[in-house]
Chain A
Amino acid sequence: MANTFAFAESRGGSLRKVAFEMVAAARQAADATGGGEVHALLIGGPGVAAKAAELGQAGADVVHVVEHAGLERYNPEVFAATAAERIKAGGYRAAFFAASAEGKDLAPRVAALLGVSLASDLTGFSIDGNALTGRHPTHTGKIITTVTLTGTPAIATIRPGAVRADGAAKAGTVHAHAPALDPAAAKVQVTAVGAKGDAKLDLGDAPVIVSGGRGLREAANFTLVEELAAAFGNAAVGATRAVTDDGWRDPSTQIGQTGRIVSPELYVAVGISGAIQHIAGMRTSKVIVAINRDKDAPIFKVADYGIVGDLFEIVPKLTEAVRKARG
């Protein structure tokens, strides 16, 4: 029986979906060792402690809360030192961080502070007495590598969406702590966070993603993609690098090896050729639809359903039909 640790990522005072997923991952690991406690760590600005109850609901037995006026934004040095201190003090068997922008920055620092190794970006894992075994897509997604991590604590980052956050509620007892370092003394300071676009559904949370590529010909034509997304009602809009490089869409919406890795229920690729670097970011989607005028485009190799033809004729029709189907 061993306790496990989950880093509960928040932004702007709200918990991110991955926070609950990491609690679920920690629960899975605790259960595999005979049922220990799950401890979550929540770091943020004043008022963030109010979110601890949500982590209890998701299955955290204990929520360690570090509230500080200087920690409204991510501060890599303070977050790393604080997480390392808590993990050391807790004697956990395993510690889980999301393979998100923040978690991928944070987890390696924590591992190095603790002098242990890190398993990255796992899409699934199991744990037994000696080892944590996980599946990790490598080589731009062309290889699935099964890794074995020995040593305690086992630190891992888990790909967003890989673990379902559906645990039974636990006490969520709050323990307050001070940060391990003075935030003002940190050498790296985040001076601004620019929100991109409007606060629509994040690509990581959206059940449906409609993405556009160079086939749209110019930025203005992305309204076709936006209207289709709007018709689904629960969709976010993504893009290829060809499109973000040309400044048609914001870089934060790029899907692929160098952008976001997503696994929605439905991924609709409009005017996208299907380069391996793009496919690396969406191949784990449940259902893939492709619309492309080139019947030999590689995107059709990963698509469940394809329509060959001119997107300018097809997409408006599809938007209309989806709108109707959803009543």
Chain B
Amino acid sequence: MKIAVCIKRVPDMDMRFAIAADGASLDPSGMKFDIADFDGYAVEVALQLNEKQGPGESVVISLGPDGVQETLRKALGMGADRAVQLKADVVPFDGMAIAQALAAELKDGGYDLILFGRMATDSANQSVGPMTATLLGLPCVTAVSKLEIANGAGTAERQLEGASETVTFPLPAVVTIDEGVARPRLPSLKGIMAAKKKPLEVKPAQLGAARLTVARMELPADRPPGRIVGEGPDAVPELVRLLHDEAKVL
């Protein structure tokens, strides 16, 4: 199968973030970046499908400044066949603006399957996948935790609140990947060497107009400092008293 995977380069979420002087972005000093968690799962899904089903091509696509080339090389190191950078100096926050650029690139690509992460861990918009699918007029299943592809059709499972849904769809299709489908492999040394020679094409991103913009970024207010009520079972009566008298939740 010919599979495209859209991957975003995002800051490492384990870092301690600081807000930049403009008040509307993160201070980039010392920031480390990596492929967004769910996008890594999506790359793994593409690789496994092509490994299982015989000859195919896995193409990774990332929109952003030249820094995304590092992310694309990582995916190539995992085993993707080629990469496309849709070059933009700044990645807009507006999912629709990004979706328009991705749809323009994917439209005539002849892909059987287009994979996204369920959401990018930075923007957490959870919208670029289904928006791109809608612009392309392709069937789309989001937040998939199980996926099977056979005979030109797919079966997927998604989690709802307190239930799960089984969904069928024909190819070509767009699927956004939740966790649970596949744990991403680490690029092997051999993979990293091979990745250096794999094609990485750079094209201008045809971004749509950004109508959703960031006005401000803040660190969340700390929860008021809590307290350790005590140690061991002897602290239970005091905890229950506090829940009743002070917090009034009992």
Contacts and interface: CB of A to CB of B under 8 A. Distances in A.
Contact of A252 (B124, B159, B214): B159
B141 A188 contact: yes
Contact of A300 (B94, B125, B228): B228
Interface in B148-168: 158-168
Interface string B192-235: 00000000000000000011111111111001101111111101
A80 interface: yes
Contacts of A143: 17, 19, 26, 217-220
Nearest to A149: B212
* Interface size class, chain B: 35 or more
Contact of B13 (A120, A142, A289): A142
A118 B162 contact: no
A297 B3 CA distance: 42
A309 B94 CA distance: 47
A121 B124 contact: yes
A36 interface: no
Contacts of A202: 161-162
Contact of A189 (B129, B168, B214, B233): B168
Given A105-B143, A305-B242, A306-B229, A193 B161 contact: no
Given A101-B143, A112-B99, A146 B218 contact: yes
Given A133-B215, A142-B17, A145-B214, A306 B226 contact: yes
A307 B127 contact: no
B226 A118 contact: no
Nearest to A138: B124
Nearest to A204: B161
Contacts of A322: 240, 250
Binding site of A, secondary structure by majority: helix, strand, loop or mixed?
mixed
B48 interface: no
Nearest to B236: A317
A27 interface: no
B21 interface: no
A119 interface: yes
Interface of A: 11, 73-74, 76-77, 80, 100-102, 104-105, 107-109, 111-113, 116-121, 133, 136-151, 187-197, 202-204, 208, 232, 241, 251-252, 257-258, 260, 265-266, 276, 283, 286-289, 295, 300-310, 313-314, 317-318, 321-322, 325-326
Given A139-B121, A252-B164, 11 more contacts: A80-B134, A109-B131, A139-B11, A149-B211, A149-B212, A191-B168, A283-B223, A306-B228, A307-B229, A307-B231, A314-B233
